[in-house]
Amino acid sequence: MISPLTPQFEPWIMNDMPINDHTLAVNRASGNPRAMTCLFALLAAVLLAPPTSAAPAVMARFSTDRTNIWAGEAFQLTLEFRITNATLDKQINVADFPPGLQLHSLPEEIAGENYQKDDTTVEIRRFRTWARVPKAGSLTITPRLDGMLIQTSRTIFSTQQTMRRVQIPCEPFSIVTKMVPASGPTSGFSGLVGNFTFQTAVDPLDIAMGDLITVTTSVTGDWLPEDFAMPSVAAIPGLKVYESKLVPEECSPTRRVCRQTLIPETPLVKAIPALRLITFDTSEARFRIQEAGPFPLSYHAEKPIIEPLYIPTNPASGLVTTSTVTASTHATSTTESLWSKLTRKLKNHPEFISQGNTEITVRVAPSEVARELFTLKPGARVTVDSVDGDWNRISCQQGIGWIPANRLKSASVR
């Protein structure tokens, strides 16, 4: 190391220009070799000295989007990293969350921030997910956090990066959850705790006997539990009820949509029963009952079928279910068209032959009271793409619809 400049070399400093890590000036008129030797030595010390920077550090802490949390209530859990004089690699390993904490998924990164304070650079990185504590009480989060710390040092000639794996210290974070009152409804409580909105739509309400009625229900709010059962219409005398089906393309962690198919079997069914959702509203600390319906029905003479056919919840293994089909009753010939042959070949649907001595009624849904679409003559060749109990959904030149499974035999059986 070279000591600081001494007074004997002051004549060679030009115009009292300060000497720092990057500037040195020499009086060109003197040409003193001793001064030049000293300056070269000082320059070498500056250039060859190891880079210096403030010590890097990283800390982590948790926070929630609310303070008063009820058992079973969903809340947003945020994990924040504060990194100084370094950066943290994108890959961060998180382990050892307490078993009493339910997470929708591992926290996903959201917007952070960067700023400079004096000689210190600070980076804030945040990760967030939905969480839930099913039971009342106190729970402390102290997970193991591992990451790669990257420190950058700069010299006049180069930039250097050093990487080292670190276990990130995390402040213990406690969550205290309150118990939902036991004085609520004795039956019908959905188990949902939080703020939720329930909506129901029934269409059509002006029907003919055998028409399909679609009931669409939706629940929107905080993160919905996987085991939550959506409200659905229960069977009543004279009303055939099919299983309520989830609509995946309209669902998200905070919204669930289901559709259910109904068929009135008698005009004595005057209305679709009301649907009810009972939740515990955490904003008001009380149970809340949301009800839709009943939905009055009116009957008219039979009209042409225009609505999509009923599609079962779980198609038979190996069979294909089309997403939208519409009945067609214009064709009368039983001769299979070239288009039908090509469709069957492409989709690889099993081929069957209608059996029996009488014509088969093809219906809009798997029910004896469902609207009629057309009839099949004995020996007609069809393909089957869905199964619902003792019914098969068939496709042929005349259209698509449902017939009893015992009226078909495999075309491969001679």
The CATH number of residue 165's host domain is: 2.60.40
Mean pLDDT of 227-252: 92
Please enumerate in sequence order all residues whose Cβ is within 8 A of that of 271, keeping only pairs 6 or more positions apart, or say none. Answer: 293, 294, 295, 296, 297
Determine, yes or no, domain membership for 187.
no
pLDDT of residue 357: 82
Are 170 and 211 contained in the same domain?
Answer: no
Determine, yes or no, domain membership for 413.
yes
Determine, yes or no, domain membership for 202.
yes
CA gap 179, 70 in Å, rounded: 6
Of residues 152 and 321, more confidently modeled: 152
Confidence grade of residue 378 (pLDDT, cut at 50, 70, 90) = confident
- Percent of the chain topping pLDDT 90: 43
Q: In the predicted model, is pLDDT for residue 10 greater than 60?
A: no
Ranking 121-125, 251-255, 322-326, 339-343 by mean pLDDT, the lowest is 322-326
Of residues 117 and 328, more confidently modeled: 117
Mean pLDDT of 349-374: 82
Number of domains in the chain: 4
Mean pLDDT of 247-274: 93
Are 71 and 44 contained in the same domain?
Answer: no
Mean pLDDT of 275-288: 94
pLDDT of residue 367: 82
Determine, yes or no, domain membership for 189.
no
Are 127 and 173 contained in the same domain?
Answer: yes
Confidence grade of residue 352 (pLDDT, cut at 50, 70, 90) = confident
CA gap 268, 259 in Å, rounded: 24
pLDDT of residue 261: 92
Confidence grade of residue 259 (pLDDT, cut at 50, 70, 90) = very high
Write out the residue range of the structural domain in which residue 39 sits. 7-48
Determine, yes or no, domain membership for 41.
yes
Q: In the predicted model, is pLDDT for residue 114 greater than 80?
A: yes
Contact 276, 287 (CB under 8 A): no
pLDDT of residue 414: 53
Which residues face 165 on adjacent strands? 148
Determine, yes or no, domain membership for 2.
no
Characterize the bridge pairing of strands 213-221 and 196-203. antiparallel
Q: In the predicted model, is pLDDT for residue 54 greater than 60?
A: no
Contact 144, 167 (CB under 8 A): yes
pLDDT of residue 294: 95
Confidence grade of residue 128 (pLDDT, cut at 50, 70, 90) = very high
CA gap 397, 339 in Å, rounded: 9
The CA-atom distances, in angstroms, between 385 and each of 128, 208, 314, 378 are: 43, 27, 12, 20
Confidence grade of residue 185 (pLDDT, cut at 50, 70, 90) = confident
Both tokens of 371, joined, read: 């609207």
Confidence grade of residue 47 (pLDDT, cut at 50, 70, 90) = low
- Percent of the chain topping pLDDT 70: 73
Are 293 and 308 contained in the same domain?
Answer: no
pLDDT of residue 8: 38
pLDDT of residue 110: 93
CATH assignment of the domain containing 331: 2.30.30.40
Last residue of a domain, one of 178, 213, 244: 178
CA gap 369, 371 in Å, rounded: 7
Contact 275, 258 (CB under 8 A): no
Determine, yes or no, domain membership for 154.
yes
Residue 84 phi, psi (nearest 5): -115, 135
The CA-atom distances, in angstroms, between 287 and each of 60, 202, 219, 371 are: 37, 26, 16, 42
Are 228 and 258 contained in the same domain?
Answer: yes
Q: Give the CA dihedral 84, 85, 90, 92, nearest 10 degrees.
A: -50
Both tokens of 189, joined, read: 């409580």
Mean pLDDT of 364-376: 84
Last residue of a domain, one of 257, 274, 299: 299
**Confidence (pTM):** 0.66
Determine, yes or no, domain membership for 36.
yes
pLDDT of residue 64: 96
Are 337 and 408 contained in the same domain?
Answer: yes
Of residues 102 and 301, more confidently modeled: 102
pLDDT of residue 327: 36
pLDDT of residue 151: 86
Last residue of a domain, one of 149, 178, 207: 178
Mean pLDDT of 234-245: 91
